[in-house]
Structure 1
Amino acid sequence: MATAPALPATAAGVPGSMGDVRRSNTALVLGAVAKAPAGVHPSRAQLATATGLTKASVSSLVLDLLDAGLLREAGQSQQGRGRPGVGLELNPARGVLGMEINVDYIAAGLVDLSGNLLVHEVREQDNRSAGTGPVLAALAGLAGTVRAAAGEHGVEVLGGGLAVPGLVDPAAARILTAPNLGWANVTLEPGAVLPGAPLGVSLFNEANAAALAEVRHRPKEGSDFLFVSGEVGVGGGLVIGSELFTGPEGHAGEVGHVVVEPDGTGCSCGGTGCLETVAGQDAILAAAGIAADTRTRSASMALLVQALQAGEPAALAAVNRAGRYLGVALASTMRVVNIGSVVLGGHFAVLDPWLRAPLLASLGRYAPGRFSPEQVTLSVVGESGALLGAAGSVVRSLIDAPHLLQS
């Protein structure tokens, strides 16, 4: 398929115009480079074969992508018996910032266009006692530090993704409710965290972002699973066919607010007996007799692990209870969505040596025959999952619409 020169700007947005065709073909070429296996640098001729476009069209589109800084020539690419062509790769000198606001920390990381995490900074702080202004100001400072490090690596930051533990309206940059932060119906200015970035900053739910990172980094056969994020709250991300399923309003997967103890304690969401009231980080620490409010997140979890290793009854009972009720919630959830694989992240992954037995016993009791131990796995991305997923989503959006950076 041959392409034609782009139409003037006044016609570029007309459906079916030559401008639309060129934008679509540009995304096709960039996507083909992005899908190449690590270490493989396709040539223009190979891209023409892969996309079905003419060699002349591919050469023209590649020139645009080189000018936009999204591609880089990377040595020679062998093409069988013929002369080797010039290989192409996603430009490692371009990247995005993944950022996260959680209840007891903020984080920022530099991710290149190939999804590699180059810099990662975490700052522990209690965000429950602060409004959105101070928290965003602190995050802006941390993002500035990472952006400076990006400059030292020779990487230009194109934009960012921000993950928060709550229900969000990304189009309006609005947090509908983040009960563990005490935020509700708050409109943010995420671009202020990363001023001057051409793509701005997009907003994501923390568990959904982490689930997307699992899709990107875990084995290909893991295309259907429920990701469960263990933080102060408990979040969930539902993946079907390697795609995140969020439901009509974007809020599917909230496993942390499945009721597991109808006569239990009140939850920050306003309900009673939700999973996070027994399996959230603060709930487990309190039941184990560890005062989370007087220590940092990492120190509190370290004390809990030490108590478990020492066989302290209160700690063992707290984790056993959390695992049992996590099994109740998962058995109910997985019967509804008919997916038999679970990925555990956050403190659930850290506590797996003690959590797994009660969790599997609970699943065996409440969903007999539905789960095998191999179907309950641990996160492959760890604590960086949310920011990796947020950054990766921005990169994917750019690959789908590279014209956003083209003049």
Structure 2
Amino acid sequence: MRQPATTARAATSSAPGNVGDVRKANLARVLSVIAAAGEDQRLSRADIAQLSQLTKASVSSLVTDLLAAGLVIEIGVHRDGERGRPSVGLVLNPARCVMGMEINVDYIAAGLVDLSGKLLAHEVLPRANHSSTASEVLAALGELSQRLQAAAQAQGLMILGGGLAVPGLVNEEHFTVLQAPNLGWVQQELDVAALLPEPKTRFRLFNEANASALAQQQLMDAQEDNFLFVSGEVGIGGGLIIDAELFVGPQGHAGELGHVVIAPDGKTCRCGGRGCLETIAGQEAILAAANLGAGADSAPRQERISQLYQALETGTEPAAKAVAEAGKSLGIAVASAMRLYNVSTVVFGGHFAALEQWLRPAMEASLQVHAPSIVGQTRLLCSPLGQTGALVGAARSVVGDLLEAPYQLVD
């Protein structure tokens, strides 16, 4: 499995020759070798010594620490053609995991992801979060988390940490949602201790699109180190992977594609601006343009989305026109982003992926008009992650932190 991209790095000392720091670095090196092995590979201590370029004695000592911390386990391995007692292989402990969580406008979700990045369990709970306070949403998510914790315990799984993705700008250091227009939240500090008490490593807060980009990165070809992930829900977000790392900019807000201005004299956006992409290609904008209701008095959004798909299948003009207009505007925004960030691959998630067959023709035509010189090198992909992307990305990033700094559990 491709190792998780992460914005975090293991702490380093100002004294690089410190014995403790060297051991911490070597612990991470050994664990990374084990983590990088294929699903069918069972590396022996000798294999790890060769791959890590450490001595066998050092590897043996470091593996003892990783075993004691519960990060790896020993497994008997028979190599092809060998007889007698099997050698001992080492693998990541399948009984250790991280919890990923997501708050979106219409639902909350939680899932368990093991140290190899595999999603072990996933639960989505529909909920009208836009009409709730942050504390009410956190309380509901806390109850969902408790159910997942109980399920983990019943299966013998230990949760080492957690990550939460939200559809807005965040300050991770202070666990604060700076602005989430579609939730109606501004400067909301989140009590994450209510979600996962006493995590063994750490708890992290993410922008939803950034977390989804991290999850998508695991599915990309090895040479695909640069791409833009475009998340489509009620709002529209963007996550940038540059040189195989999440790029968030100096204040952590890079990639806000939903608030790129497409129509300067257009509708007012929830962010306070005017003519943002979100006012044309967001879920509510498409539904309103398709004459499928808007506002608090409308039918539930999921019901109206089902009506939209039915209308598109039958070729109903308002629905087809609304989606085509969204595709045209999305093409304009993507053309600008590709030039600005110098990326040629764009991956679409959320309702953009679901609407691909109706959205793509207008988007490709728009790109041909607005970016003819680069459209030939453009790759437009749709993500298969669905509703799991954000929580899986958040969890895998915490897993990545752990793989880079296993001393957190060894000490």
Same fold (TM over 0.5): yes
The amino acid that maps onto 2:231 is S
Deviation of residue 17 (structure 1)?
Answer: 1.7
Deviations 1:290-324 (A, max 9, x none): 23654444333222111110111111111011000
Deviations 1:174-216 (A, max 9, x none): 1111111111112112122111322242101110000010111
Q: Are residue 63 (structure 1) and residue 64 (structure 2) matched? A: yes
Q: Does the 8 A contact of 2:202 with 2:398 survive in 1? A: no
Match of 2:76 in 1: 75
Q: Are residue 368 (structure 1) and residue 378 (structure 2) matched? A: no
Distance 1:298 1:68 in 2: 45
Q: Does the 8 A contact of 1:124 with 1:297 survive in 2? A: no
Match of 1:4 in 2: none
Distance 2:119 2:376 in 1: 33
Q: Does the 8 A contact of 1:124 with 1:296 survive in 2? A: no
Deviations 1:154-180 (A, max 9, x none): 211111100011111111111111111
SS of 1:191 mapped into structure 2: helix
Q: Are residue 329 (structure 1) and residue 333 (structure 2) matched? A: yes
- Over 3 Å counting, the alpha-carbon distance change for 1:43 and 1:336 in structure 2 is same
Match of 1:377 in 2: 381
Q: Which has the higher contact order (CA 8 A, sep 6+)?
A: 2
Match of 1:266 in 2: 268
SS of 1:249 mapped into structure 2: coil
Alignment of 1:30-41 (within 5 A): 30-41=31-42
Q: Does the 8 A contact of 1:217 with 1:381 survive in 2? A: no
Q: Does the 8 A contact of 1:90 with 1:113 survive in 2? A: yes
Deviation of residue 394 (structure 1)?
Answer: 0.3
Match of 2:4 in 1: none
Distance 2:41 2:31 in 1: 14
Deviation of residue 152 (structure 1)?
Answer: 2.6
Q: Which runs of 5+ in 1 are unaligned?
A: 1-11
Match of 1:133 in 2: 135
Match of 2:6 in 1: none
Distance 1:129 1:355 in 2: 30
Alignment of 1:191-206 (within 5 A): 191-206=193-208
Aligned residue pairs, count? 396
Q: Does the 8 A contact of 1:115 with 1:392 survive in 2? A: yes
Distance 1:149 1:289 in 2: 43
**Residue number among 345, 350, 372 corresponding to 1:346 in the alignment:** 350
Q: Does the 8 A contact of 1:217 with 1:380 survive in 2? A: no
Q: Are residue 181 (structure 1) and residue 183 (structure 2) matched? A: yes
SS of 1:40 mapped into structure 2: coil
Match of 1:5 in 2: none
**Residue number among 139, 146, 149 corresponding to 2:148 in the alignment:** 146
**Residue number among 205, 209, 212 corresponding to 1:210 in the alignment:** 212
**Residue number among 294, 301, 307 corresponding to 2:305 in the alignment:** 301
The amino acid that maps onto 1:265 is K
Distance 2:161 2:301 in 1: 29
Q: Are residue 320 (structure 1) and residue 321 (structure 2) matched? A: no
- Over 3 Å counting, the alpha-carbon distance change for 1:210 and 1:347 in structure 2 is same
Deviations 1:211-262 (A, max 9, x none): 0101112322322111000011000011122211111111111111110011
Q: Are residue 358 (structure 1) and residue 362 (structure 2) matched? A: yes
The amino acid that maps onto 2:45 is R
Q: Does the 8 A contact of 1:343 with 1:379 survive in 2? A: yes
Which segment drifts farther, 192-201 or 66-75? 192-201
Distance 1:188 1:173 in 2: 6
Q: Does the 8 A contact of 1:111 with 1:117 survive in 2? A: yes
Q: Does the 8 A contact of 2:326 with 2:359 survive in 1? A: yes
Match of 1:279 in 2: 281
Q: TM-score, normalised by structure 2?
A: 0.92
Distance 1:148 1:261 in 2: 49
Distance 1:28 1:337 in 2: 32
Distance 1:176 1:355 in 2: 31
Distance 1:238 1:217 in 2: 15
Deviation of residue 374 (structure 1)?
Answer: 6.8
The amino acid that maps onto 2:210 is N
- Over 3 Å counting, the alpha-carbon distance change for 1:275 and 1:42 in structure 2 is same
Q: TM-score, normalised by structure 1?
A: 0.93
Distance 1:108 1:279 in 2: 27
Q: Does the 8 A contact of 1:214 with 1:385 survive in 2? A: yes
Match of 2:24 in 1: 23
- Over 3 Å counting, the alpha-carbon distance change for 1:198 and 1:296 in structure 2 is farther
Q: What percentage of residue pairs aligned between the two structures are identical?
A: 54
Distance 2:282 2:95 in 1: 39
Q: Does the 8 A contact of 1:172 with 1:187 survive in 2? A: yes
SS of 1:405 mapped into structure 2: helix
